[in-house]
């Protein structure tokens, strides 16, 4: 049987893109590079104690004391391992890739949920993206954007898109049809139904998709380190190539700590009734119920009732 030169055709297509849209690729590289550099400077610039305090306060707000204590101890441990700058570089890459993947994946999920043919077209594409080995993403990324942080961000973004699409589609399709029919009966426009009915009810599923996007983005840290993305990926790759067990363990531990923090934080965003938010909301409601305006009965509603007969 004659061999099909499929790889040759793909290579020819990639070379054609390089000749056809070099300006677009350079623009993407410049924008992504600047955004990552600015975010890295913001995260790594101040003394680490400033960000440890901020992250601990945020953890207290969204999830409570236990998560706040973990955040404080964990990030102080990272700083004591002298991996603070690398951790902030990794966090910057993960945040940029997760935001881009979410900005692409959620609209695609909405489109797939509202159009069954679109969902049928996207489904095999997503299957292909999820089953492709992660190292394969680096080949075109490095070919298009060279060595550095940009190919790492691009490869991480592409790898992390599928959960946002799938769980957004699942959440919108899971909305009770009777609720949608009731909104239609009241004359709501399809965009109003999407914005005011379907998206709020699908929010837990969408947030679960964003959580998975962040986790997949962080799982690409070591792979992106092979492309020169810097951060903890470079630490782990260097430890593997030199068989440095101590450095490999410390870099891996920092990745695990960052993963746990991002997982708990993103999960808590879908549960606003946890942590200090719940306490503040309960106090506000209690203060509102105890206010004179709430305690004073409405005299207009107290009309005398005539006795019957």
Q: Let me know if residue 100 belongs to a domain.
A: yes
pLDDT at 73: 94
Q: Which domain holds residue 225?
A: 25-44+82-272
Question: CB–CB of 275/61 below 8 Å?
Answer: yes
**Rounded mean pLDDT, 72-97:** 91
Q: Let me know if residue 209 belongs to a domain.
A: yes
pLDDT at 284: 60
Question: CB–CB of 264/208 below 8 Å?
Answer: no
pLDDT (tens digit per residue) in 128-156: 888 888 778 888 888 888 788 888 888 88
* pTM summary value: 0.80
pLDDT (tens digit per residue) in 9-55: 888 888 888 888 878 888 888 898 899 889 989 988 888 899 999 99
**Rounded mean pLDDT, 261-280:** 70
What is the per-residue DSSP string for the chain?
-PPP-HHHHHHHHHHHHHHH-HHHHHHHHHHHHHHHHHHHHHHHSS-HHHHHHHHHHHHHHHT-HHHHHHHHHHHHHHHHTT-HHHHHHHHHHHHHHHHHHHHHHHHHHHHHHH-HHHHHHHHHHHHHHHHS-HHHHHHHHHHHH-SSHHHHHHHHHHHHHHHHHHHHHHHHHTS-HHHHHHHHHTT--HHHHIIIIIHHHHHHHHHHHHHHHHHHHHHTHHHHHHTT--THHHHHHHHHHHT-HHHHHHHHHHHHHHHHHHHHHHHHHT-TTSHHHHHHHHHHHHHHHTSHHHHS--GGG-PPPPPP-
pLDDT at 308: 42
Distance CA 16, CA 215 (A): 34
Enter the tokens of residue 138: 């680096």
**Portion of the chain with pLDDT greater than 90, in percent:** 17
Q: Let me know if residue 71 belongs to a domain.
A: no
Distance CA 84, CA 77 (A): 9
pLDDT (tens digit per residue) in 170-185: 888 888 888 888 888 8
Question: CB–CB of 188/71 below 8 Å?
Answer: no
pLDDT (tens digit per residue) in 35-48: 988 998 998 888 88
Cα 71 from chain centroid (whole Å): 19
Report the domain count for the chain.
Answer: 1
pLDDT at 53: 93
Q: Let me know if residue 39 belongs to a domain.
A: yes
- What is the Cα gyration radius of the chain? 25
Residue 266: CATH number of its domain: 1.10.3720.10
Q: Let me know if residue 223 belongs to a domain.
A: yes
Distance set, CA 122 to CA 8, 103, 179 (Å): 25, 16, 27
């Amino acid at each position: 049987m004659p061999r099909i030169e499929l790889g040759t055709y793909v290579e020819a297509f990639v070379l054609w893109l390089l000749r056809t849209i070099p300006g677009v690729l350079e623009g993407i590289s410049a924008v992504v590079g600047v955004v990552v550099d600015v975010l890295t400077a913001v995260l790594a610039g101040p003394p680490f104690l400033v960000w440890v305090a901020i992250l601990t306060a945020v953890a207290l707000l969204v999830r409570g004391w236990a998560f706040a204590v973990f955040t404080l101890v964990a990030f102080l441990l990272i700083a004591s391992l002298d991996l603070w700058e690398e951790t902030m570089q990794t966090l910057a890459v993960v945040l940029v890739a997760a935001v881009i993947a979410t900005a692409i994946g959620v609209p695609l999920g909405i489109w797939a949920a509202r159009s069954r043919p679109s969902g049928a077209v996207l489904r095999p594409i997503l299957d292909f993206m999820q089953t492709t080995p992660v190292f394969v993403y680096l080949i075109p990324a490095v070919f298009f954007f060279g060595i550095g942080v940009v190919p790492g961000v691009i490869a991480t973004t592409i790898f992390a898109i599928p959960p946002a699409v799938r769980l957004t589609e699942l959440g919108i399709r899971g909305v009770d049809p009777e609720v949608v029919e009731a909104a239609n009966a009241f004359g709501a426009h399809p965009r109003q139904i999407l914005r005011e009915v379907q998206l709020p009810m699908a929010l837990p599923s969408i947030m679960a998709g964003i959580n998975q996007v962040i986790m997949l983005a962080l799982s690409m840290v070591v792979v992106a380190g092979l492309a020169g993305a810097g951060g903890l990926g470079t630490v782990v790759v260097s430890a593997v190539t030199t068989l440095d067990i101590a450095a490999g363990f410390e870099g891996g531990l920092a990745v695990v700590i960052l993963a746990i923090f991002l997982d708990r934080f993103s999960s808590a965003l879908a549960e606003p009734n946890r942590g200090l938010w719940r306490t503040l909301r309960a106090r506000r409601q209690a203060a509102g119920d105890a206010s004179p305006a709430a305690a004073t009965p409405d005299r207009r509603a107290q009309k005398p009732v005539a006795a019957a007969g």
